[in-house]
Amino acid sequence: MRSLWAFPGQGSQRKGMGDELFDRHQALVRRADEILGYSLRRLCLEDPDGVLGQTRYTQPALFAVSALSFIEKRDAGETLPAIFAGHSLGEFNALFAAGAFDFETGIALVDKRGRLMTDAPRGAMAAVIGLDQERVASLIAASPFDRIDLANINAADQIVISGDYDQIAACETLFTGAGGRFVRLNVSAAFHSRFMRDVEREYADFLAGFDLKPLEHPVIANRTARPYPKTGYRDLISEQISHPVRWYESMSWLLAHGLETFAEVGPGTVLSGLFAKIRRTPMTLPASAASSPAASSAVATEVAATGAQTQAGPKIVFMYSGQGSQYYAMGKELYENNPVFRAAMDDCDTIYRAQTGRSMVVELYDPANRHRELSDVMLSHPALYSLGYALTQALIDAGIRPDAVLGYSLGEYVAATVSGAMRFEDALRMVMRQAELVRERASGGGMLSVMTPVEHLHRHPQLYAGCILASVNFDGNFVISGGIETLRALKRALDAESILSVLLPVEHSFHSPAMDAIEGEFRRFLAGVEMGAPNVPAYSSMSATRVERFDAEHFWNVIRCPVEFHKLVGEISGSETCRFIDLSPTGALSTFIKYGYGGRVAHAASMNQFGRDTATLAKLRSDFVV
């Protein structure tokens, strides 16, 4: 990664740009004019209508000038760099330079992007200068401004915020009072925020009509702050619209990997100035920050491309748990100390906030909730999904990648995401919709974990009358579902027999007929979600087999049918040597293997309820990475 060519984004445009290029590339300029329906030369050199600064016109004009600048350098015989990058809009130039598409396609893509962003709902953006990312984020989290996101992390002390027009207008003193400077930006919408989700989806549909070629050169992605995969990168382009530009992290990652020379290609020197600043104070990254962090498509691509570790050895299986393992403050230490984990949790929180108006992260890590039971399914469901997803990014970043994934109940959504069968946004919305329906139509139940062999249930059917077997975790533990009063009565009866049982922090009877009340509506929702075959082997605790394809039928059965975890682990470990890593918040799945299989099956937990998660992650890395 010795050399980089970087392309600027919106804001670097100026009247007169491209003057020396248009005459030398007349054929390409004519083609651009045909696609755009107006004169590119006249717009850039004269701007008679004063529209060059408007997003609709800025984006194709800036792309064209930067693309022609690249062509000039390339055709003059300059040695191409080791890697390309672009800031926001400039990423399209980086992809063009890397061979993803031709000049004409690039013009069409950015023209559509500019039009959609121009028509986006009213919003605003502002630059906060002099405060770092954590300070800006903490100020927002502690304020009443719940419709503001971080949009660009440009340098250690240069953060751009984006969001609701009125809240951006009102929040200036929040940052100036903390010692920062506040500069409103001349834009009409909340770019790179949750408020661009509809634009992202429409642009993704448009992008689907184009053939994207394998990249011939590496490109660093704004979305992940790591290199694009060579193929299968379409989602990263559209997702950039509604996610932060992680420029500071991108450049810091490159510097950590030996970047020496930086060249800005296109009008202006904004990126050159940022790079000089970042070189002086780069972001502190995890020692192993060579992997892709929190982009679902990038995670699946990297896992599929690299397998687990490069050395031969036992298969590594990531395991994800479901309801009953949640608690307030789960993952808090990692959120505060691991930037990859935090970025993934924040990505999930953005979706959660947009849909509920609440902040999952704020509620989860509020000290006032520390000793409360986390039983609100509208928080516990998405929080469990988000934690498993974020832990995956942290482990991958630490150099631990799965050869396969295993889902237990709700954990099957995380497994499907990590396997590449579906986008993390879609999976999280499925989890939230399921929670909403369960709360509305299937409340009033519960789940009881019983510490005795399941044969006890079969020998005493009258004792368990009104209850349904929900899961078998190991020879000496099973879980049942039922009405809460029925479960309490059963617990008293079991106590009388000196059989230990524990009511789980769950207010619903999952894996039982109680779920039938949501079947029709949930199936209709599932029918509209895109999912498919996994790229990484995925195993279901519901079917106790490998999943060939995730579909609506599968996910309905996940919530309705019992869990056969003990049987599944036996099937997997009986056919090949495996090491199971538990990505649940309690380490419960690892405990099930411990008591179910003793020392015959290797396993490890990635966190627990007693803290020291950073040390646990470091220990995993030392044990699993050679």
Active site residue 217: no
pLDDT of residue 448: 95
Closest CA to 182 of 224, 129, 218, 251: 129
CB 417 within 8 A of CB 424: yes
What does the pLDDT average to over 522-542?
91
Kindly give the pairing relationship between strand 501-503 and strand 124-129.
unpaired
pLDDT of residue 313: 57
Does the pLDDT of residue 288 top 80, yes or no? no
Buried b (16+ CB within 10 A) or exposed e, 123-156: bbbbbbbbbbbebbbebbbeeebebbbbbbbbbb
What does the pLDDT average to over 188-194?
92
Cβ atoms within 10 Å, residue 513:
11
What confidence tens digit (pLDDT) does each residue in 13-43 have? Answer: 999 999 989 999 999 999 999 999 999 999 9
Rg (CA), the chain: 26
What confidence tens digit (pLDDT) does each residue in 298-318 have? Answer: 444 444 444 434 334 578 999
User: Between the CA of residue 245 and those of 85, 152, 221, what are the distances in Å?
Assistant: 12, 5, 9
Q: pTM (2 decimals)?
A: 0.57
Spatial distance between the Cα atoms of 482 and 364, rounded to a whole number of angstroms: 27
What confidence tens digit (pLDDT) does each residue in 397-422 have? Answer: 888 889 999 999 999 999 999 998 98
CB 13 within 8 A of CB 62: yes
Cβ atoms within 10 Å, residue 392:
32
CA 307, chain centre distance (Å):
20
CB 514 within 8 A of CB 442: yes
**Catalytic-role residue among 12, 69, 88, 471:** 88
Which residue's structure tokens are 């975890």?
Answer: 565
What confidence tens digit (pLDDT) does each residue in 427-443 have? Answer: 999 999 999 999 999 98
The amino acid sitting at 317 is V
pLDDT of residue 107: 97
Q: Which residues have C-beta within 8 Å of that of residue 76, sequence separation ≥ 6?
A: none
Active site residue 88: yes
Residue 508 backbone dihedrals phi, psi, to 5 degrees? -145, 150
- Environment class of 49 (CB within 10 Å of its CB; exposed 0-12, middle 13-18, buried 19+): exposed
Q: With bands split at pLDDT 50, 70 and 90, how would you rate the model's confidence at 290? A: very low
CB 428 within 8 A of CB 352: yes
Domains of the chain: 3-120+194-280 (3.40.366.10), 124-184 (3.30.70.250), 316-442+511-624 (3.40.366.10), 445-503 (3.30.70.250)
What confidence tens digit (pLDDT) does each residue in 563-613 have? Answer: 999 999 999 988 788 999 999 998 999 999 999 988 889 999 998 777 678
**Catalytic-role residue among 69, 87, 162, 192:** 192
What does the pLDDT average to over 83-92?
97
What confidence tens digit (pLDDT) does each residue in 448-481 have? Answer: 999 999 999 999 999 999 999 999 999 999 999 9
What percent of the chain has pLDDT above 90?
72
Looking at residue 154, the DSSP 8-state letter turns out to be E
pLDDT of residue 230: 86
Q: With bands split at pLDDT 50, 70 and 90, how would you rate the model's confidence at 375? A: confident
Beta partners for residue 480, in sequence order: 448, 469
pLDDT of residue 437: 95
3-state secondary structure of 196: helix
pLDDT of residue 312: 45
What confidence tens digit (pLDDT) does each residue in 330-345 have? Answer: 999 999 888 889 988 9
Beta partners for residue 15, in sequence order: none
3-state secondary structure of 504: coil
What confidence tens digit (pLDDT) does each residue in 230-269 have? Answer: 888 898 999 999 999 999 999 999 998 889 899 999 998 8
What does the pLDDT average to over 83-96?
97
pLDDT of residue 339: 83
Does the pLDDT of residue 374 top 60, yes or no? yes
What confidence tens digit (pLDDT) does each residue in 37-57 have? Answer: 999 999 999 999 999 999 999
Q: Which residues have C-beta within 8 Å of that of residue 240, sequence separation ≥ 6?
A: 88, 91, 192, 221, 222, 223
pLDDT of residue 574: 83
